[in-house]
Amino acid sequence: MLKTYHIITYGCQMNISDSERITSVLENLGLKKSQKMKEADLIVINMCSVRQSAVDRVYGLIIKLQSLNLKSQTILTGCILKKDKKKMSSFFNYVLDIKDLSCWSKALNFKKEIKRDYLKITPRYSNSFSVNIPIMTGCNNFCAYCVVPYTRNKEISRPSNDIVKEVENAVEKGAKEIWLLGQNVNSYKDGKTTFPKLLEKINKIPGDFWIRFTSSHPKDFKDSLIKTMKTCKKTAPYLNLPVQSGDNEILKKMNRIYTIEDYKEIVEKLKKEIPNIALSTDVIVGFPTETKKQFQNTVNLFKEIKYDMAYISKYSRRAQTEAFKLKDDVSIKEKIKRERILNKIVAKTAFENNRKYIGEITDVLIDSETKNNSWLGKTKEYKTVKISQKIKNEKLMGELVKVKITKASLWGLKGELV
Ligand code: SAM
Ligand code: SF4
Ligand code: F3S
């Protein structure tokens, strides 16, 4: 009889969110969370395949599980490529699709459940003040390097009423920050409700909370969204707008559909309409055939846009994708070099941007406590702030507080509670 469970989650916010629905299903079956993997009757691994390093982590875990010789039952789920499913399935008791979550209880020999959309399952949030809410799943874009359209399949938008209800419930229970999630939130569509319309509906929900969303695809980033971000006051002035490369030829090979000129135009409009907007991006270095000259275009873009943050990835060749057919011809040494160059630029531009906040009094959502009663939080612009006073007060966690910014550093700010 299964009594306890332990979930290991790899990957993006979408997987973290899925694990919250898995938690809910397991708890409803009467299972209790075990902090230690070794002591759990059921171990769930929610995996990511975006880069080979993420898959290798699961292989590492398989070796660990084998060496521990546990009696636990094991489930593998998440984003899995066909070839890994074949190789890995013998090491797990079950390989289950997250989309079939409503039927997992049957697979585990518990009561039979009626098959229904897994996103209709009420999640058990791991964090009550910053809540992840998926608005869609899957992806239709087939960027040449990316596994997501193969692991999460076709794009499906959730009914807007379900999303609004989920946000209302979360806000009622104290959520201060709502993350709307999807691989390309800009292409959300439920009947007449487009993404800007959905933002408007959520903005009308009473309460003091911030709306964030990720990811956005530049090809679908319309003026109407910029206008909505400006007028809906709950929308936080922070945006992750993945560029992937600063070179038009590489963008074309990546099947990204936009040009760097289109991208810059969006950023210009955003900065004009929402002057305090903070920007981050995703970029891949060393995509097949990327020359030094083409990489230089990414360097130039980074210097021009002055990002606040960037998620820089070294290209990883993935089975099933279009780019798998191309030779992975940029050496790892060169990829590391390019990654370092971009990191240095972002460190500089982020520092410059951060300095602008010195002297300002701003709202900070407290989200973690370090040793010695030091507190950290985020501003609306998604800047990390360290509170300089040491405070012993458990109630601070998840609270919105006023902070005077006193210092800026490369990756964040420092300030005093006022
Ligand atoms: N939907 C989002 C978008 O359009 O940007 C991103 C989703 S993807 C799961 C997250 C990030 O992983 C991407 O933005 C990309 O930079 C990176 N990534 C995806 N495939 C990759 C690969 N094969 N090698 C290296 N990085 C990759
Ligand atoms: Fe992957 Fe492109 Fe879809 Fe993003 S938009 S999930 S990068 S295929
Ligand atoms: Fe996310 Fe990884 Fe899947 S980044 S969508 S968990 S492949």
Q: Are residues 103 and 136 in the same domain?
A: no
Which residue, 305, 335, 355, sits at the end of a domain?
Answer: 355
Q: Are residues 299 and 246 in the same domain?
A: yes
Mutate which of 50, 185, 332 to test ligand 1's pocket (most atoms within 8 Å of Cβ)? Answer: 50
Which residue, 318, 334, 355, sits at the end of a domain?
Answer: 355
Residue 111 confidence (pLDDT) = 76
Split into its structural domains, the chain has a count of 3
| DSSP alpha helix (H) spans, 173-207 | 195-203
| Cβ partners under 8 Å of residue 90, min gap 6 | none
Which residue, 118, 145, 175, sits at the end of a domain?
Answer: 118
- Would you give the distance in Å from CA 224 to the centre of its chain? 24
Q: Are residues 304 and 333 in the same domain?
A: yes
Q: How far apart are CA 211 and CA 204, in angstroms?
A: 11
Q: Are residues 157 and 223 in the same domain?
A: yes
Q: Are residues 351 and 403 in the same domain?
A: no
Q: What is the pTM of this model?
A: 0.96
Q: Are residues 26 and 97 in the same domain?
A: yes
Q: Are residues 276 and 396 in the same domain?
A: no
Mutate which of 15, 48, 136, 139 to test ligand 2's pocket (most atoms within 8 Å of Cβ)? Answer: 139
pLDDT in tens, the chain (418 residues): 899 999 999 999 999 999 999 999 999 999 999 999 999 999 999 999 999 999 999 999 999 999 998 999 999 999 999 999 999 999 999 999 999 999 999 888 887 777 889 999 999 999 999 999 999 999 999 999 999 999 999 999 999 999 999 999 999 999 999 999 999 999 999 999 999 999 999 999 999 999 999 999 999 999 999 999 999 999 999 999 999 999 999 999 999 999 999 999 999 999 999 999 999 999 999 999 999 999 999 999 999 999 999 999 999 999 999 999 999 999 999 999 999 999 999 999 999 999 999 999 999 999 999 888 889 999 999 999 999 988 887 788 999 999 999 999 988 999 999 9
> What is the distance in A from the centroid of ligand 1 to the CA of 98?
20
Ligand 1 atom nearest residue 318's Cα: 23
Q: How far apart are CA 67 and CA 56, in angstroms?
A: 17
Q: Are residues 79 and 140 in the same domain?
A: no
> What is the distance in A from the centroid of ligand 2 to the CA of 145?
9
CATH code: domain of residue 319: 3.80.30.20
Residue 371 confidence (pLDDT) = 80
CATH code: domain of residue 391: 2.40.50
Q: Are residues 131 and 55 in the same domain?
A: no
> What is the distance in A from the centroid of ligand 1 to the CA of 12?
10
> What is the distance in A from the centroid of ligand 2 to the CA of 414?
35
Any atom of ligand 2 within 6 Å of the Cβ of 183: yes
Any atom of ligand 2 within 6 Å of the Cβ of 11: no
- Residue 68 dihedral angles phi and psi, to the nearest 5°: -80, -20
> What is the distance in A from the centroid of ligand 3 to the CA of 53?
12
Q: Does an H or E element contain 123, and which?
A: none
Distances (CA, A) of 254 to 145, 218, 312: 7, 13, 16
Q: Are residues 50 and 196 in the same domain?
A: no
Residues with CB under 6 A from ligand 3: 11-12, 14-15, 48-50, 79, 147-148, 151-152
Residue 393 confidence (pLDDT) = 76
Radius of gyration, alpha carbons of the chain: 22
Q: Are residues 160 and 225 in the same domain?
A: yes
Residue 319 confidence (pLDDT) = 96
Q: Are residues 125 and 254 in the same domain?
A: yes
- Beta strands of 150-286 (E only): which ranges? 156-157, 177-181, 189-190, 193-194, 210-214, 238-240, 278-285
Mutate which of 15, 16, 20, 77 to test ligand 3's pocket (most atoms within 8 Å of Cβ)? Answer: 15
Range of the domain at 51: 4-118
